[in-house]
Structure 1
Amino acid sequence: MFDPKLTALLPDLASYILVVTEGSFTAAAKRLNVTPSALSKLITRLEHALSCKLVERTTRKLVITQAGQKVYDQAVVMMNAAQQAVEVSQSEHLDPRGSITVAAPEAFLYSVLQPHVTSFLQQYPEIQLKLRAADGEIDLFRDGIDVAFKLTDKPDENLVLKEISKTNLVLCASPAYIESRGMPCHPTELAEHDCLYLAETSRDNIWDFVKEDAFFAVTVSGRYAVNHSQMRLTGVKNHLGIGIFHDFVVQNALESGEVVEVLADWTIKSNYHGAIAMQYRQTQYMPTRLRVFIDFINRKLFPNTFYKSR
């Protein structure tokens, strides 16, 4: 049973969430229609009540302490639960309505989800859908995400998991490029080719290949690097070199013959391959808008089978 005294902290915690998300006392105070000094005193009162420092105040910026981040994460959970409590009371007599925030890797968002967005919004005119391209780590609680799609072998164990499909990485080039430069027969031969890679991190031009007990890490190079899958695919179609893609990105191009697979008998290893997982928070009372979105995605995507070369 919770301490009734804690209820007095809830308004202060809600204000603290706004301070963190806005990034300054001034911006948060404007949203709350109070003065920055009054808001600063409120946060000081909360710090005394919790016996910990939440923020470091400087003239240039607001720095959240380690304890402050933990308090923020839990406060967001509490506010989400409060919002769900309100929505549960309305869900039985209201059509699905409200906002849903969905995060997914850029390539999956464009190639797989995007074709279904219009029909979903047409079917549920009272729902606002916010899509975020997120190729890094996604924290649903911290980032205010309702549903996250992840390409990973290690889904978050604290969330509900719906595995939509599997995805592999495919190495591709245009037929004209292969005719001009030759078809690589071994991963090490890629060092002699023009390759298109992401160029986001220092290791993006090191490609890992596995076949049975053999493993090769090949450093590639090329004149064109871009961290956008469709732009990279356009470059490959225009004969700029060899690129790595998720199978769902190049499925149509492979089937049409615009590109051909390279080193099909090798497996490409990466942090972004394995299961295509849809994840969301476990809750006994799921908002209607979220339930209809999850059901819609299940109907649209679960039967799909992406291109498989092996």
Structure 2
Amino acid sequence: MPNTKLVSLLPDLASFILVVNEGSFTAAAKKLDVTPSALSKLITRLENALSVKLLERTTRKLNITQAGQRVYDQANIMLNAAQQAIEVSKQDHTEPSGTISIAAPEAFLHSVLQPLITPFLRLYPEISLKVRAVDGDIHVLKEDIDIAFKLTDKPDENLVLKEIGKTDLVLCASPDYLKLRGTPSRPIDLVEHDCLYLGETSNDNTWDFLKDDEFHTVVVSGCFAVNQSQMRLQGVKEGLGIGIFHDFVVTESLKDKTVVRVLPDWTIKSNYHGGVAMQYAQTKYMPARLRVFIDYMHQQLTNQFTTLTTQG
């Protein structure tokens, strides 16, 4: 039999999640059709019941405490389980239907997922996809994402992990550029070259290279920085300099020799390389639409990355 105190706290925990997601009492209160002051009192009641401070309130901003973040994470699991219980009651196991929200890095979306999306939607016409490009950390629970694709060696331990394969970073330039400027033989040679980098942060023009026990850090520069992979690749093809790409981005360009690898014996170190992972929240009752999407993508991508690894 469930604890009566726990049962009484469930609505308050759900309201707390909404406050955090909306970022303010006013926005959350509007969705719940209550006043902000009433919602604030509810959160205070929850804090008293749990004997912990969940939110730091100021006149301009609402911040979640460390303890509040832990409560939020666990409460989100609870809310997800409740949502799945509702899904089970509505779910048609014979005809997967409904909306799936997915997120992935922009380059992965363009080069890897895009060719698979149309065939999947034609195979399951009752399913709709909401696709979001996210470069950086993807917060599945907080951002209401069903499936996240990640390029990392450190997947989220709180989520189910489906391993797809491995991806490496490769350094590329056009043959014409190398003919004009020469081919680097060591990482340090890059300081004499034009290089294309992301331009997102103050240090993403700092590139790290590893070969056996030898490690080099090089600060590069160039006339073109862009955080969109296809624009950066086009710049490299047009001779603007040397750029770093995930291997799946430049597979076809390497085949048709519009670009060639530079420093192929060196490993490029970055936060966004290594394992290719598909992650989603743990649930006992998974909607049919998610199951068929996961199975389809896992099969297609595992085959694709196995081929990519063999070719590499």
1:159 deviates by 3.0
1:115 deviates by 1.7
Residue pair 1:248, 1:307 contacting (<8 A) in 2 also: no
Q: For 2:223 and 2:7, how far apart are their aligned partners in 1?
A: 60
1:93 deviates by 4.9
Query: TM-score, normalised on structure 1?
Result: 0.92
Q: For 1:78 and 1:290, how far apart are their aligned partners in 2?
A: 19
1:211 deviates by 2.0
- Residue 172 of structure 2 is matched in structure 1 by 172
- Residue 146 of structure 1 is matched in structure 2 by 146
**CA offsets per residue over residues 219-271 of structure 1, 9 Å max, x none?**
21111111221111111111110000000001111111211111112222222
**CA offsets per residue over residues 184-218 of structure 1, 9 Å max, x none?**
12211111000011122333112222222322222
Q: For 1:211 and 1:43, how far apart are their aligned partners in 2?
A: 54
Q: For 1:36 and 1:158, how far apart are their aligned partners in 2?
A: 32
Structure 1 counterpart SS, 2:308:
coil
**Where in structure 2 are the equivalents of 1:129-278 lying within 5 Å?**
129-278=129-278
1:308 deviates by 6.5
Matched, 1:75 2:67: no
The amino acid across from 1:40 in the alignment is S
Q: For 2:166 and 2:142, how far apart are their aligned partners in 1?
A: 27
1:88 deviates by 2.2
Structure 1 counterpart SS, 2:303:
coil
1:126 deviates by 3.0
Task: Report the RMSD for the aligned CA atoms in angstroms.
Answer: 2.0
Structure 2 counterpart SS, 1:142:
coil
**CA offsets per residue over residues 14-58 of structure 1, 9 Å max, x none?**
122111111111111111122222222222222222222222332
1:307 deviates by 6.5
The amino acid across from 1:24 in the alignment is S
> For structure 1, which segment, 178-187 or 83-92, has the greater mean C-alpha deviation from structure 2 after superposition?
83-92
Q: For 2:32 and 2:194, how far apart are their aligned partners in 1?
A: 55
1:2 deviates by 4.3
1:145 deviates by 2.5
**CA offsets per residue over residues 283-304 of structure 1, 9 Å max, x none?**
3222211101101102321211
Residue pair 2:185, 2:263 contacting (<8 A) in 1 also: yes
- Residue 306 of structure 1 is matched in structure 2 by 308
Q: For 1:119 and 1:170, how far apart are their aligned partners in 2?
A: 29
Consecutive unaligned residues of structure 2, counting only runs of 5 or more, are none
1:85 deviates by 1.4
Taking structure 1 as reference, are residues 29 and 94 closer, same or farther at Cα in structure 2, changes over 3 Å only?
Answer: farther
**CA offsets per residue over residues 102-144 of structure 1, 9 Å max, x none?**
2212211111112222222233233332222222223323333
Query: TM-score, normalised on structure 2?
Result: 0.92
Matched, 1:290 2:290: yes
Q: For 1:15 and 1:282, how far apart are their aligned partners in 2?
A: 22
Residue pair 1:264, 1:309 contacting (<8 A) in 2 also: no
Structure 2 counterpart SS, 1:140:
coil
Taking structure 1 as reference, are residues 85 and 22 closer, same or farther at Cα in structure 2, changes over 3 Å only?
Answer: same
- Residue 37 of structure 2 is matched in structure 1 by 37
Consecutive unaligned residues of structure 1, counting only runs of 5 or more, are none
**CA offsets per residue over residues 53-110 of structure 1, 9 Å max, x none?**
2223322222222222222221111110001112223335563223322221221111
Q: For 1:40 and 1:126, how far apart are their aligned partners in 2?
A: 41
